[in-house]
Amino acid sequence: MLRFLAWTKNYNFSKFKGDLFAGLTTGVMLIPQGMAYALIAGLSPIYGLYAALIPPIIYSFFGTSYHLSIGPVATVSILIFAGLTELQLSGEQFVLAASLLAFVVGLIQFIFGLCRLGFIVNFLSRPVISGYTSAAAIIIGTSQLKNLLGMQGQSSSHFVTVMQDIFSRSNDLSLPSFFMGICGIVVLILIKRINKNLPSAIIVVILSIAVVYFLNLGPQLRILGDIPSGLPSFQMLNFRFEDIRQIFPLALIISLVGFLESISISKTLQTKVKGNKVVANNELIALGLANLVGSFFKSFPVSGGFSRSAVHQEAGAKTPLSLVISSILIGLTLLLLTPVFYFLPKSILAAIIIVAVVNLIDVHMARLYWMISQRDFWMMMITFIATLLIGIQEGIITGVLLSLGLVIFRSTYPHTAVLGKLPETNYYRNLHRFPEAIERQDMIIFRFDSQLYFANIQYFLDTLNDLVNKKGTNLNVIIINAQAINNLDMSAVHGLKEFIRDMQKRDLVIYFTEVIGPVRDVMKKSGIYALVGKEHFHMRVQDAVDHFDSRSQNEDKYAIQSNN
């Protein structure tokens, strides 16, 4: 479990130089990001720095990724805000609830990791995540418009509510705040175009603070004001079972979304480094411990951030020690530099958030899904619309239910094919895809591309019966190509037996080809093997065809001899 023992064995000064530069780069990036994402979560900016302090250190001891940057992220922050505002909490209650949420999220992730339940995250399909993150990006962006425009707007995680509130307060527009925010967006974009590795956010923060201070613009802008200095103190979490019950659904969603985002990033980055193997269940344990311990130091739920992790890797991170270095920088900021942020305009933080979340709007994937799989496209769009118009939690729950529904549908109605022989070969292929394939009128060669079990046995039987009825009196033999059937349950056994007996009553011959070992074992134990006959099981479709043809010829010869 102590993964740091693996990378400390061959640690050297060369690796330390890479970790030092990467840690400082990521730490500089985390300062404005942490404060901005705390605002998204409905918290004071200082809590973003708290969330960037302890969790990365804990993760560095237990995590398996060398490049994952742990800390506040936009998607989790908007989930926190959406979930906790529905509980009608405010002030200190909201802060304590955010820490309790981190504790429950960490506990769920830790238990899932110990029980090796990392596969559960597979129920959050990529179209669902793309739809959710795209809608969440728009909600996050619009939620920051009030700060960009210098308004005292209503806080909400619902897109329609935020937009209605902004239009109703259009007379409260602060031109200085708006101009400062627009300048911030322009400078952020220009810096990224010049050199994407530059810490554009911290550069814009420093420039804006200098402008506000030296031009005495504080009275005309909404600025952060006093920020507490010092490290977060240890706090015990006082809660009731009722509090856990209320936030548990939200915690479960954040646990899965946070883990999915982290593991996706880790798996992407591990390919660039030799010897860095990311283990999903270990990542769950590491993330869980990071959130658990962080909750006692005023942290809210954290995860791995994609853009931050990419910068972390490109800056030369060699081991998770770089996370400790970035945390030390955050700690020094909390001890020494919080007074500097007094003059930071909120419109600049809004600009940082808006520029960051624009990249989360996944237009490219929507086009790709439309070209490749319209089912996935509509799953993405339904999740997107539900998240945008109904709510953050409702949207992702809708997406998960759609994913499960699609899994059930595809399992219940899997792909099937009627095969024909390619000319001058012994290969048999799908007649719909290979129109040149030859279909014999006295024969059905049927392939079923799924396990055969209670949910789809009726579809299997209905499809085969339809084919039999269409062939009519010309049909003599049915060959079932079972190469894709990897499981057979008792419902399927009973259904197959009834079908075989029914076909035998019609004097139709049944063959099975390419049956894999585990399925053949079930067939032997259940009596299907004996019912069909050993000689009717073959390794290839051509073998079954040849066996039937030779049997038919022998029967014809016997009939001729009898007549003579």
pLDDT tens digit sequence for 517-562 = 999 999 999 999 999 999 999 999 999 999 999 887 655 543 434 4
Residue 16's pLDDT is what?
Answer: 87
Instruction: Count other C-beta atoms under 10 Å from residue 418's C-beta.
Output: 16
pLDDT by residue for the chain (564 residues), tens only, comes to 566 666 677 788 888 888 898 899 888 888 998 998 998 898 999 999 999 999 999 999 998 888 889 999 988 998 898 888 888 777 888 999 999 999 999 999 999 999 988 777 777 778 888 888 888 888 888 888 888 888 876 666 778 888 888 888 878 788 898 999 999 999 999 998 888 777 888 899 999 999 999 999 888 888 888 888 999 999 988 878 888 899 999 999 999 888 888 887 787 777 666 666 788 889 999 999 999 999 999 999 999 887 788 778 877 888 889 999 999 999 999 999 889 899 999 899 889 888 888 877 888 888 998 998 888 899 999 999 998 888 877 888 888 888 888 888 889 999 999 999 999 999 999 999 999 999 999 999 999 999 999 999 999 999 999 999 999 888 999 999 999 999 999 999 999 999 999 999 999 999 999 999 999 999 999 999 999 999 999 999 999 999 999 887 655 543 434 444
Residue 419 in 3-state DSSP? strand
Residue 4's pLDDT is what?
Answer: 63
For residues 189 and 178, the answer to whether their CB atoms sit within 8 Å is: no
For residues 386 and 375, the answer to whether their CB atoms sit within 8 Å is: no
For residues 305 and 56, the answer to whether their CB atoms sit within 8 Å is: no
90: amino acid identity, one letter: S
92 and 241 both lie in a single domain: yes
**For residues 44 and 216, what is the distance between their CA atoms, to the nearest angstrom?**
24
402 and 482 both lie in a single domain: no
368 and 483 both lie in a single domain: no
150 and 261 both lie in a single domain: yes
234 and 307 both lie in a single domain: yes
180 and 266 both lie in a single domain: yes
Please report which helix (H) or strand (E) contains residue 321, including its range: helix 321-332
- The last residue of one of the domains, among 384, 406, 428, is 406
- The last residue of one of the domains, among 353, 387, 406, is 406
- Name the pairing type of β-strands 70-71 and 303-304: antiparallel
**For residues 112 and 389, what is the distance between their CA atoms, to the nearest angstrom?**
32
**For residues 78 and 84, what is the distance between their CA atoms, to the nearest angstrom?**
10
Decide if 9 is inside a domain. no
Could you report the per-residue pLDDT of 138-170, keeping only the tens digit for each? 888 888 888 888 887 666 677 888 888 888 887
369: amino acid identity, one letter: Y
Residue 562's pLDDT is what?
Answer: 41
Tell me the residue range of the domain where 162 lies: 14-406
Question: Edge to edge, what strands does the sheet with 537-538 contain?
Answer: 428-430, 416-421, 443-448, 477-481, 509-513, 537-538
367 and 459 both lie in a single domain: no
Please report which helix (H) or strand (E) contains residue 443, including its range: strand 443-448
For residues 531 and 509, the answer to whether their CB atoms sit within 8 Å is: no
**For residues 104 and 84, what is the distance between their CA atoms, to the nearest angstrom?**
14
**For residues 407 and 404, what is the distance between their CA atoms, to the nearest angstrom?**
5
Instruction: Count other C-beta atoms under 10 Å from residue 194's C-beta.
Output: 9
432 and 313 both lie in a single domain: no
Residue 558's pLDDT is what?
Answer: 38
Question: What CATH number did the domain enclosing 496 receive?
Answer: 3.30.750.24
397 and 428 both lie in a single domain: no
DSSP collapsed to 3 states, 474-537: HCCEEEEECCCCCCECHHHHHHHHHHHHHHHHCCCEEEEECCCHHHHHHHHHHCHHHHHCHHHE
Backbone phi, then psi, for 173, in 5-degree steps?
-55, 130
DSSP bridge partners of 443: 477
482 and 548 both lie in a single domain: yes
DSSP class per residue in 116-147:
T-GGGGGGS-HHHHHHHHHHHHHHHHHHTHHH
Number of domains in the chain: 2
Classify residue 231 by its DSSP letter.
Answer: P
Residue 154's pLDDT is what?
Answer: 62
**For residues 339 and 513, what is the distance between their CA atoms, to the nearest angstrom?**
76
**For residues 346 and 209, what is the distance between their CA atoms, to the nearest angstrom?**
11
Residue 560's pLDDT is what?
Answer: 39
- The last residue of one of the domains, among 357, 384, 406, is 406
